[in-house]
Amino acid sequence: MTLQRPSIGEWYRLNGGELLEVVAFDESEGTIEVQYFDGTVEEFDLDDWRSQRATGTIEEAEAPEDWSGSVDVEPEDGRAEVDAIAEDRQLRADRLDDLDLFE
């Protein structure tokens, strides 16, 4: 069985559990850098990667529907920040209110 070289952006599953994404591949150095769904980054030696792929320890997987695991952002966090900025702008005076453009 011939294993394809990993491509950046491909997702895999480790031991049928943890999801990981290939984020860097350096063929000249023989390393593959992956990021787990929880954000942890790890580097694999290419020979070790191939060995684990051959034994089924690392298997191909579909990308998760919820990609936010690795970025550690809750959907409501972004909305709260936008609301706070909008409220802050309402409290401040507009710097151009007293400017007369025709003087």
Whether residue 17 is contained in a domain is answered as yes
Whether residue 43 is contained in a domain is answered as yes
Whether residue 100 is contained in a domain is answered as no
Distance from the Cα of residue 69 to its chain's centroid:
8
pLDDT in tens, the chain (103 residues): 566 788 899 999 988 788 999 999 998 999 999 999 888 999 999 999 999 999 999 999 998 887 655 554 454 555 555 565 555 555 555 565 666 667 6
Whether residue 27 is contained in a domain is answered as yes
Provide the β-strand partners of residue 60: 12
Question: Could you tell me which residues come within 8 angstroms of residue 47 by beta carbon, excluding any fewer than 6 positions away?
Answer: 30
pLDDT at residue number 24: 94
Whether residue 98 is contained in a domain is answered as no
pLDDT at residue number 17: 86
pLDDT at residue number 66: 72
pTM: 0.61
Q: How many domains does the chain have?
A: 1
Q: Which domain holds residue 26?
A: 11-63+71-91
pLDDT at residue number 41: 93
Phi/psi of residue 76, nearest 5 degrees: -75, -20
